Copies of this chain bind each other. A is one copy, B any other.
Amino acid sequence: MNEEHKGSRRSGGPRKAQEIFDATLDLLADKGYEGLTIEGVAQRSGVNKTTIYRWWPSKGALLGAALIGARQLELTPPDTGTLAGDLEALLGTIATLLTVRPASDIAVSVLGAATHNPELAAHVKDFFADRIAREQSVFDRAVARGEITADTDAMLLVDLLAGAAWVRAVLRQLPLEKDFVARTVNIVLNGARAAG
């Protein structure tokens, strides 16, 4: 029993947390939020159902932990040496998450289902708060290099980039052209400098 508490992640969790998170997101990608069950996660991860329930009392709680903890949605803040390079890397990752399966099935399912599921919406909110906190380092370094002023609204720049990808790929259902990332970053970065 004690063994399950070893090697736990930030917020605690059983020993096989990564396998449970991966199974959760895989199942979500296959079956959608409605088809996601703790039973199904137990079966796919090979972890006992009662162990999963002990840590996460509902599928909403489990999915919330999986969103933040899972390898499949890993987003290490880039550090390319320039803000333009960092933002291109960031938007490139977001574009891939929204358009390349199976990550896109997960991301689009979760964000879509959150619009009519308050518990899931709370976890999506936490997920975005976690991400913007990690992305802040990109902007701190750009300020230190003198690329932008200290009062630049980092969240607005990220929302412009991520939002353009979401509208184009998910709502308009149009392909993201080869130069989408470079052109979008160029507009946002020039706009931020002119506004700063």
Contact = CB atoms under 8 A, between A and B. Distances in A.
B115 A172 contact: no
Pairs of residues from A and B, 3 with the lowest C-beta to C-beta distance, nearest first: A163-B163, A112-B115, A191-B191
Interface in A155-196: 155-160, 162-168, 170-173, 183-184, 186-195
Contact of A163 (B124, B128, B166, B183): B166
A153 interface: yes
Within the oligomer, what is the number of copies of this chain?
A: 2
Contacts of A188: 160, 187-188, 191
B156 A164 contact: yes
A167 B127 CA distance: 12
Nearest to A117: B112
